Amino acid sequence: MFHTHVPDSPIWLQAVSKAAFETVCYKIVFPTCLLPYYLEVMSTPHILIVDDDPEIRDLVSKFLVKHDLRTDTAANGQELFKKLEVGNFDLIVLDLMMPGEDGLTLCRKIRSESSIPIIMLTALGEDTDRIVGLEMGADDYIAKPFNPRELLARIKAVLRRFEQGEQDSLGEVQRGKALTFDGWSLDLTKRELRTEDGVLVTLTAGEFDMLAAFLERPNRVLNRDQLLDLTKGRNAGPFDRSIDVQLSRLRRKIEVDPKDPKIIKTVRGGGYILSAKVDRL
């Protein structure tokens, strides 16, 4: 079950699960008067909260619902994947430290099959955990204990960035839906990266945005602040290493030798530059 809030909507509609609602809609005549409520509920971002602490799950869920988001919760990896099988989620809030499969393992499994945005919850001061989380494919992180308002702000920022990336991809169709470089092909509509042989290479939302930013600006030096603005829509903080982590992860996927990159090169004291020839199909 998920919880949601739609002004003036029937109480039962605010608590009904999407799957149950759709099942009812298929089996009986859908009441026309309820269609506006249903459409509004289904257009609200759906957040999956994964944490073994029931108090945190409950508090975060209630706070997000209060701010007009739909939520569902899971206590472990098994529940997480069961939810993903039957639900349609826009973002996952994933705790790092959980019994059984931890957040890093779950993040890696999710990222191998999906580009759904992930925000990791990490222990305060554990820089290594945050960096590894980003390397595993997380789009952002927040340290415990955290202010729920900050989590809400990060959720909205990640959703905006992901949605903007999809809109930008659709806008590229008229100009050419794919960019090719050094034997690689990046499909801007499907947000897919493929090798010269057509093998699909999974990219996180952040990796896709970064690669697209470079390909749209070949042979142009981009510094960390510019990359962070292009990919995350916010200014870089003095200790923000997400760009460095994402670039390192991206290089491991597209470079023959990530330690001696030939496609995305480092410009000493300046930033990074994509040196490959780019063609638009």
Could you list the pLDDT tens digit for every one of the 281 residues in the chain?
A: 344 443 344 444 444 444 444 444 444 444 555 444 444 444 688 999 999 999 999 999 999 999 999 999 999 999 999 998 878 889 999 999 888 899 989 998 898 778 889 999 987 656 777 777 777 888 888 888 899 999 999 999 888 887 765 555 444 444 557 899 999 999 988 889 999 999 999 988 888 889 998 998 899 988 887 887 777 654 444 445 678 888 999 999 999 999 999 999 999 887 899 999 999 87
Last residue of a domain, one of 94, 129, 163: 163
Distances (CA, A) of 176 to 171, 188, 227, 270, 279: 9, 8, 23, 30, 10
Question: Distance between CA 36 and CA 201 in Å, rounded?
Answer: 40
In a domain, 9, yes or no: no
Residue 251: enclosing H or E segment and its boundaries?
helix 242-254
Same domain, 86 and 150: yes
In a domain, 263, yes or no: yes
For residue 26, the number of C-alpha atoms closer than 13 Å in the C-beta half-sphere is 6
Measured in degrees and rounded to the nearest 5, phi and psi for residue 178 equal -135, 145
**Domain identity same for 238 and 255:** yes
Domain contains 32: no
49 located within any domain: yes
What domain range is 92 assigned to?
45-163
**Is there a domain that residue 23 lies in?**
no
Same domain, 57 and 84: yes
Q: Are residues 202 and 110 in the same domain?
A: no
- Is 159 found in the same domain as 49? yes
Is residue 124 assigned to a domain?
yes
186 occurs within a structural domain:
yes
DSSP 33: G
Residues 127 and 236 in one domain: no
In a domain, 209, yes or no: yes
Number of domains in the chain: 2
